[in-house]
Amino acid sequence: MQRVVTLGDGRQVGLGGYVKAWKAALAAPAGSTFDKGFNWWPETREEILRTFRKGLQDRINRRIDGFPGALRPEGPRGRKWTSEWQTETRRAAQQLNSRVVIHWLPAWLKPRFAHRIEERMAA
């Protein structure tokens, strides 16, 4: 399987060529220009490095396959991604931060804060 990097304009470049381009841009002296970079006009080393970094961050943030270890590909999400979990946890945090005795907590927080729940304190 050949690994490729898809550029912003849709062209695909092999991973080896992509790495060579990075190294050439990094090795060039500051302020040098490249006539055949990403565009038809000459670009400076700094502009090209900025474009490289922007593309790399975009690939990491979009979780593109072929870059294992950067981030897991998006797939089925766990319980903490549901809006109910987010809402209940936010509500519990507000109660825990503002009161000494708590009247309600979601099931996953009850064992951790059992000493502050009203039912247990009344017993």
**pLDDT tens digit string along 47-69?**
888 888 888 787 777 666 655 55
DSSP the chain: ---EEE-TTS-EEEHHHHHHHHHHHHHSPTT-EESSSSSSS-EEHHHHHHHHHHHHHHHHHTT-TT-TTTSPPP-S--GGGSHHHHHHHHHHHHHHHH-SSBS---TTTTTTTGGGBHHHHH-
Q: What is the residue whose two structure tokens read 């009850």?
A: 110
Q: What is the pLDDT of residues 71-108, one digit of tens each?
A: 555 566 677 778 888 898 898 888 888 877 787 888 88
Residue 14 CB neighbours (<10 A): 12
> What number of CA atoms fall less than 13 Å from residue 81's CA on the CB side?
5
Q: What is the pLDDT of residues 30-48, one digit of tens each?
A: 888 888 766 778 888 898 8
Give the residue, 8 or 24, on which the prediction is more confident.
Answer: 24
pLDDT at 115 over 70: yes
pLDDT at residue 13, rounded to an integer: 83
